[in-house]
Amino acid sequence: MVDHTGRRHESSSRRRFLLAGGAAAITGLAGCSGGSGSTGGDGGSGGDGASSSTNSASGDGGSGESGDPLLADASEFDPESPNWEENNYLSTPLIDAGYERGSRTDLESMGSREVDEVPHGEPVQETPDDESEWLEPDTLVFTESPSEDVQGRYEEDFQAVFDRIEEETGLPVEYNRVNSYAASVEAMRSERAHIANFSTGTTCFAVNLAGAVPFTAGIAPDGSFGYRLFATTRADADGIQSVEDFANDDVRMAHAEPASNSGHQAPSALFDQYFDVTAGEDYEINFSGGHSQTTRGIAAGDYDAGPICSTCFLDTVEADSNLSFDEFKVVWASNPFPNGPVAYRYNLHPDIQEGIRNAWLDSDFAGTAYAERTGYEEYVPIEYRRHWYDIMVIQRYNDVEYTQGALSE
């Protein structure tokens, strides 16, 4: 491995405690010493595809024939205490344990924080007092954008919730899918969208630039919630045993998109804070265009490693018969992040806002295509300043400015 120790300490010491309070908040997301805070329980096992592995890793995740001394046997993986300082794992035991998600306990902990002010940017805008500023469209436009937690949803998947919105508001719903985070924010900013799914990392931009009011997020039937950052490489990459090994001129690193939380913002902060590895300085960032592209690129050898949203990783591998969980090795994982919320524009008529909230919060979507595709039957209230506190701290640590240019660059 190329020795960048001197340069890394210089750059990291310059930023490590750049903003007071950031380190303490980020600590809760580290997951790099002992347990990672919680387990996703028994939810979301995606290990069925693992038996088709054709790479050199052993089928049971064992380290017997591996040249990586940190590669632990699958049976050694403990979701409560993965011990990332001494171990890494094939992704199969993580998926089998439901480790790609957190739990309802994580959600409750996020919501119980004592937070008086948002740590970065502006708070959610209040509904205007002046009724002349209220927005009363004849048709509500729902915008679907790339997601941190679920990939590839389509118009027919939303019919159940669109029917509920119409029941509650009396307004029909038009579906609009966009292909980038920036486009989803711009649609709401320009009032061409009234309701939207935003990715986790984009939510802060939507609040600051587009007047978004995040109000709910989904919970899986087993109580699992959110997603993690998986620092991922190929199973046969024996020279990559930890995040520290990313700081190598020969390692081709992929990040998803600039506004992506787990695909760029979180690793830029957490790798620097906990491993003294600064993205863009200790390794060159190659933006792949999304988590699915990063996953497939690692498998194909286009990239050697990258940070990937855990649930997007699961979806991508399960959807591609040419991929197997045993082809991938996870060298570190964060504590859970909240999954992308549903939000509406702040200046909608209060009655429309109430109807939109009721459509999600007072509904049981079990048995619908919406629940099948998203994995969520139940939606629960969220509060931006509390549930997105860690995300804002990460973006503050990275000196993120909430501008359209920063979102698009």
Q: Which of 94-103, 153-162, 181-190, 241-250 has the lowest mean pLDDT?
A: 153-162
Total Cβ atoms within 10 A of residue 307: 31
3 Cβ contact list (under 8 Å, min separation 6): none
Residue (of 315, 302, 322) closest to 254 by Cα position: 302
Crossing angle (nearest 10°) for helices 203-210 and 181-189: 30
- What average pLDDT does this structure show over 391-408? 91
- What average pLDDT does this structure show over 8-14? 39
Whole-angstrom distance, CA of residue 236 vs CA of residue 325: 13
The model carries a pTM of: 0.79
- What average pLDDT does this structure show over 168-174? 98
pLDDT tens-place string over residues 114-123: 999 999 999 9
More confident residue, 51 or 114: 114
Give the pLDDT confidence score for residue 25 in this predicted structure.
54
pLDDT at 55 over 70: no
pLDDT at 398 over 90: yes
Which of 39-48, 105-114, 165-174 has the highest average model confidence (pLDDT)? 165-174
pLDDT tens-place string over residues 182-212: 899 999 999 999 999 998 989 999 999 999 9
Mean pLDDT, the chain, as a whole number?
Answer: 86
Per-residue H/E/C for the chain: CCCCHHHHHHHHHHHCCCCCCHHHHHHCCCCCCCCCCCCCCCCCCCHHHHHHCCCCCCCCCCCCCCCCCCECCHHHCCCCCCCCCCCEEEHHHHHHCCCCCEEHHHHHHHHCCCCCCCCCCCCCCCCCCCHHHCECCCCEEEEECCCCCCCCCCHHHHHHHHHHHHHHHCCCEEEEECCCHHHHHHHHHCCCCCEEECCCCCHHHHHHHHCEEEEEEEECCCCEECECEEEEEECCCCCCCCHHHHCCCCCCEEECCCCCHHHHHHHHHHHHHHHCCCECCCECEEECCCHHHHHHHHHHCCCCEEEEEHHHHHHHHHHCCCCCHHHEEEEEECCCECCCCEEEECCECHHHHHHHHHHHHCCCCCCCHHHHHHCCCEEEECCHHHHCHHHHHHHHHCCCCCCHHHHHC
- What average pLDDT does this structure show over 325-340? 96
Q: 26 pLDDT band (50/70/90 cuts)? A: low
- What average pLDDT does this structure show over 312-322? 95
Give the pLDDT confidence score for residue 30 in this predicted structure.
56
- What average pLDDT does this structure show over 365-377? 92
Tokens representing 250?
């020969």
Give the pLDDT confidence score for residue 11 in this predicted structure.
40
- What average pLDDT does this structure show over 35-48? 34
pLDDT at 336 over 70: yes
pLDDT at 4 over 90: no
Give the pLDDT confidence score for residue 29 in this predicted structure.
60
- What average pLDDT does this structure show over 220-228? 93
Domain at 5-13+23-100+224-333, CATH from 3.40.190.10, 3.40.630.10, 2.40.30.270, 2.40.128.20: 3.40.190.10
Give the pLDDT confidence score for residue 404 in this predicted structure.
85
- Domains 5-13+23-100+224-333 and 104-219+338-408 agree in fold: yes
β-strands 212-219, 229-234 pairing = unpaired
Q: 259 pLDDT band (50/70/90 cuts)? A: confident
pLDDT tens-place string over residues 72-131: 999 999 999 999 999 999 999 999 999 999 999 999 999 999 999 999 999 999 999 999
CATH fold for domain 104-219+338-408: D-Maltodextrin-Binding Protein; domain 2 (3.40.190)
Give the pLDDT confidence score for residue 66 in this predicted structure.
67
Domain boundaries, the chain: 5-13+23-100+224-333, 104-219+338-408
- What average pLDDT does this structure show over 306-312? 96
Give the pLDDT confidence score for residue 133 in this predicted structure.
98
Whole-angstrom distance, CA of residue 243 vs CA of residue 72: 16
More confident residue, 42 or 352: 352
